[in-house]
A and B are shown apart, each in its own frame.
Chain A
Amino acid sequence: MTEESPKDELDKRIADAKAAHQRGISDAEGRAEGRGWAIGIEFVGAVLVSAFIGWMIDRFAGTAPWGLIIMLILGFAAGVRSALKASGQFDADPDNDEKD
């Protein structure tokens, strides 16, 4: 058994405190409720923005209702893509203990 010098002990305590600090942040950010919100907002946001763009295209190009219909469908695809991206980020989080 080697005797730990005071400096080694201090280094270890600093490392532990840093690790605890990191864990605290990702815990707070990754609460289940927050994740659900994040994914929902990503999906709804993409659909609404796309629908708005389609509506504007219709207004200025006079192509109603096709711009809105096509952009709404593309917006669904974009929303699913964003939601998958967001949930992929949560799965990649090493502190995520709800993953099976």
Chain B
Amino acid sequence: MAGPMEQFEIETLHPIEVGGYDLSFTNSALWMAIALGVISVFLFIGASRPQLVPNRWQAAVEYVYDFVRKMLDDNVGPEGRRFAPLIFAIFMFVLVCNLLGLIPWVGAFTPTSHVAVTLGLACIVFITVCIVGFWRHGLHFFSLFWPHGSNIALGAFVFVIEFLSFLSRPFTLAIRLFANMTAGHVLLKVFGTFVVSLGSFQALPYVFGIVPLGVNVALSALELLIAVVQAYVFALLASLYLNDAINLH
């Protein structure tokens, strides 16, 4: 029987090596490509024939985009709208990766259950925040970490602490998504093995397997919720960090 961690193993599907680096096409890359395909189909069909009164596809696409744009309006203000494409792209990618990973039977792989992927996404956000902050405010950006109206000694101490807390942001952003995805999938697999081991009780076969099966059905619904909520939280925190860089305080 497959262990609960085997679903996260990276398999090389097509080995590629460039300049000594292993750039193989793996199952992780395959499922990210599938996610990209699903997003493209969704957006292209929705935007192919725009009408004043949208049909269902167009309404769905507009709804998701308006959702992201409204989130930026609420958290960043009018300046945030120019970052809507970036936040929208990250939101859609995380959302579709999370949702595709929940499909049973097809051997689905969840790219967002790997720190390499989530930390990459978090670094895109973090580097954007740094560039935007220094672009708009220059070295004045560091005043984000300086407490108002304190003396030099205490201010310097708080500055270091705030700066460390700022540096830990990409890490916490990445770990949050990775931990939620990994924990959920492990839980599903563990209860899945309970179904088999309890259901194979010799004297009364199948009966006891029903309980963990019911738990797994409920967990699948919960995982669906977490997949959407974590994509939302990732995009929300990214826009909150952008707010710091754009408006300072």
Contacts and interface: CB of A to CB of B under 8 A. Distances in A.
Contacts of A48: 168, 171
Contacts of B179: 37, 41
Contacts of B160: 74
Contacts of B228: 28
Contact of B171 (A25, A29, A45): A45
B232 A74 contact: no
Interface size for chain B: under 10, 10 to 19, 20 to 34, or 35 or more residues?
A: 10 to 19
A49 B164 contact: yes
Contacts of A45: 168, 171-172, 175
Interface stretch (A1-9, A58-66, A75-83, A90-98): A75-83
B172 A42 contact: yes
Interface string A31-46: 0001001100110111
Given A25-B232, A45-B171, A37 B164 contact: no
Interface of B: 160-162, 164-165, 167-168, 171-172, 175-176, 179-180, 225, 228-229, 232-233, 236
22 contacts: A28-B225, A28-B228, A28-B229, A29-B236, A34-B229, A37-B176, A41-B176, A45-B168, A46-B165, A46-B168, A48-B168, A49-B168, A49-B171, A78-B161, A78-B165, A79-B168, A81-B161, A81-B165, A82-B165, A82-B168, A82-B172, A85-B165
- Nearest first, the 3 A-B pairs at minimum CB distance are A45-B172, A78-B164, A49-B168
Given A25-B232, A37-B179, A46-B168, 7 more contacts: A41-B179, A42-B168, A42-B172, A49-B171, A50-B167, A74-B161, A78-B168
Interface of A: 25, 28-29, 34, 37-38, 41-42, 44-46, 48-50, 53, 71, 74-75, 77-79, 81-82, 85
